[in-house]
Structure 1
Amino acid sequence: MHMRHPEVEKRPVSRPYALPSFTSLSCFEAAARNNSFKAAAAELNVTPAAVSHQIKALEAEMAQPLFRRQHRGVELTEAGAFLFVAVQRGFEGISGAVREIRGRPEGEDVIIHATTAVSAFWLTPQISHFWSHHPETVVSQVVSDVEPMEDRVDLSIRYGPIPDDDGTYVTLFTDNIVAVGSKEFARRYAVASVADLAAAPLVHVTTRRVEWTGWKDWLGAFGVEAQTGKRTTVNNFMIALQLAQDGVGAVLGWERLIGTLLEQEALVPLVPDHLVSPHPFYLQIHPRASAEARFVAEWIARQAG
């Protein structure tokens, strides 16, 4: 005699991490880094339609848009920029573990670390120019606002005081720091002086690694002791620039670094005053750097000068 066993209720297995699919995150990261679905598709060796499909699915899961679709590409929304920083941090951790396990192979690329803003606005155009003269040299970037392990990269581009130690550092350039915002922001708050800026909404950037010069120092240089308007704080310079373009507040920008945004008038100087940056952008040459990496470093230094 056969007895029927009661049906065992199947309970859904909970995942330890609240994550979308890795495919959608990979497509998102590539599109955000390249500001283009088409460029992301070429990098991932898939069609632009496939990238678009994955990102639409991710946006549906997030219940909000992550990109603004533009005629010549895409740009991150505030939510997209926030997610991009988190995804980069996660991918950087995974990449570091994989490299540690594999070890460094012979003949590896020259690897340069830079923050998202420095890579997008200054380093990537420099590397493209380098390749036009030296196509045989492979240069890769670790683009991250999270500090990678030093034995993973050959060169790093940083902003801040040059360390007083036995390391090898090369000053690239100093820059003028200007207060910038959208045209609509300037009209709305009738910004005409540094004192007007202090009473307007300002976007502050606070990070643990990059010592970006802040509003306190900038305002103080012109005799204004403190901000009295609304304060918004983010931990990523690219997010701060996007907020400024959206009219959320004014942000400090380095003229040479954000030259493209100024040329396009996506951001405009709000007052004629500027502050010469107290710190330079500089290149760190790590101990593991090969002769080829040092050649790249010399070339970058010449271009900066």
Structure 2
Amino acid sequence: MPRNPTALPPLPALQAFEAAARHESFMAAAQELNISQSAVSHRVRALERHLGYALFERLPRGLRLTENGKAYLPSIRSAFAEILGATTSIFGLNRASRLTIRAPLTYSALWLAEIVSRFSAAHPRIEIRMHSSVWAENLALDDTDVEIRLGYGHWAGYRAELLFTDPLVPLCSPRTLEAEGKSLDVADLASRPLVHIVGLEDQWHDFFAAHAPDTVMPKPKSHVHTDSSVAAATIAANGPHFCLLAETFAEHFERSGSLVRATDQTIASKQGVYLLTAERTGPLLPEVEGLKRWLRERAREQSICRHVSR
């Protein structure tokens, strides 16, 4: 059993454990930490004595985590990430560096741009490069530090963290709503010209199924298919079409007056907005952790504001 279960383990011992676990080798950990192999081994053994449990199986060639080691490692990595993020967020960086961010076109323009502007003002020594994407799954991982992606949270080669989910809102131009001369209900929308977003065509079906399950949609007439929410919104703002957008985008177009809500009904999106970083062998750079923390806080602020407004 631990000698003192309430005492925090020494930080150097935790660093040695994390590096050794990542490399599955005391020698490789020693090279990374710029100390001797015996020092790494000594620190890990001291940590095991402190905890009262073995963290590694010592093999003829390398190391293997015990079950306790496997359970302990994610929390240690998360704690280091939080320390790096907090340090960068509060004290900034003392060196110039570069961050590359990738996001879907609409999220890049209508959500991420403002956040990046504020982050850049707080960290002027970081050069930021933003790339917009439509079909992100086809892009390489190597050229991006942080990515925003809409989906279900499972992508090979990535660590994915849910930032938020957006309700879906039906919208049309003020002229279109005025021309109707009456309040619309969900069943009315089924016979109107709709804008479908490629890859998300089932959203309208889900909307009608949730609020008007007996509605029979007529054969598509004057429907438009596009590959971005920005294009869908622009089409609806300039014609008789109706679009279904994430609330993050809907709020932007409502503020500008180009779109209004066609009905008060909304539905929850099946997909979430995720924060992604590529799976790499080592810890993330401090500036990457700082940006991730910044994005989490903005997503949390957004959620709180919506909750209060309701």
Q: TM-score band (shorter)?
A: 0.5 to 0.7
- Judge conservation of contact 1:109–1:140 (CA < 8 Å) in 2: yes
Matches within 5 A, 1:61-100: none
| Closer, same or farther: CA 291–202 of 1 in aligned 2, 3 Å | same
Q: Secondary structure at the match of 2:241?
A: coil
In the other structure, the counterpart of 1:282 is 274
Matched, 1:247 2:239: yes
Instruction: Kindly indicate whether the alpha-carbon contact (under 8 Å) linking 1:154 and 1:287 is maintained by their aligned counterparts in 2.
Output: no
Match of 2:289 in 1: 294
1:137 matched to 2:129: no
Q: CA deviation at 1:188?
A: 2.9
Look up the match of 2:43: none
Question: Conserved in 2, the CA contact under 8 Å of 1:157 and 1:282?
Answer: yes
Aligned pairs (5 A) from 1:17-96: none
| Structure 2 residue identity aligned to 1:299 | W
Of structures 1 and 2, the larger Rg is shown by 2
Question: Who is 2:203 aligned against?
Answer: 214
| Other-structure match for 1:157 | 148
Where does residue 125 of structure 1 map in the other structure? 114
Equivalent residue for 1:204? 196
Report the alpha carbon displacement of residue 146 of structure 1 after superposing the two structures with TM.
Answer: 3.6
1:178 aligns with 2:166: no
Query: Tell me, what secondary structure is at the counterpart of 2:249?
Result: coil
Cα separation, 2, equivalents of 1:263 and 1:212: 26
2:104 aligned residue? 115
Which is helix-richer, 1 or 2? 2
Question: Contact between 1:285 and 1:297, CA under 8 Å: does it hold in 2?
Answer: no
- Preserved CA contact (<8 Å) 2:157 2:278: no
Structure 1 segments unaligned to the other structure (5+ residues)? 1-106
In structure 1, give the amino acid aligned to 2:285. S
- For structure 1, which segment, 152-161 or 220-229, has the greater mean C-alpha deviation from structure 2 after superposition? 220-229
Structure 2: how far apart are the matches of 1:264 and 1:164?
Answer: 35
Which digits, 9 at most, give the CA deviation of each residue in 1:173-215, with x for residues without a partner? 11221100101112334551000111111000114xxx57621
C-alpha contact 1:213 1:277 (8 A) present in aligned 2 = no
Measured at CA, do residues 146 and 276 of structure 1 come closer, stay the same or move farther in structure 2, by a change above 3 Å?
A: closer
| Distance in 2 of aligned mates of 1:110 and 1:273 | 39
**Partner in structure 1 of residue 298 of structure 2:** 303
Runs of 4+ in 1 over 6 A off after TM superposition: none
Cα RMSD (Å): 2.3
Q: Is 1:227 matched up with 2:217?
A: yes
Judged with a 3 Å threshold, the aligned counterparts in structure 2 of structure 1 residues 283 and 233 are, in CA distance, closer, same or farther, namely same
1:188 is aligned to 2:179 = yes
- Letter of the 2:132 counterpart: V
Deviates more, 1:167-176 or 1:218-227: 218-227
CA distance in 1, matches of 2:257, 2:217: 25
Secondary structure of residue in 2 paired with 1:302? helix
Moved more, 151-160 or 225-234: 225-234
Which residue of structure 2 lines up, in the alignment, with residue 51 of structure 1?
A: none
TM superposition shift of 1:153: 0.8
Structure 2 segments unaligned to the other structure (5+ residues): 1-95, 301-310
> Match of 1:130, as an amino acid?
F
| Aligned-pair CA distance for 1:123 | 0.2
1:265 match: 257
Distance in 1 between residues matched to 2:130 and 2:278, nearest whole Å = 15
Asked if the contact 1:119–1:143 (Cα under 8 Å) also holds between the matched residues in 2, the reply is yes
Among all aligned residue pairs of Structure 1 and Structure 2, give the percentage whose two residues are the same amino acid. Answer: 25
In structure 1, give the amino acid aligned to 2:177: A
Deviation at 1:156, TM superposition (A): 1.1
CA contact (8 A) 1:220 1:226 kept: no
**TM-score, normalising length from structure 1?**
0.59
Normalised by the length of structure 2, the TM-score is 0.58
Q: Is the 8 A contact 2:197 2:225 kept in 1?
A: yes
The 2-side partners of 1:178 and 1:260 are apart by 12
Q: Distance in 2 between matches of 1:146 and 1:166?
A: 16
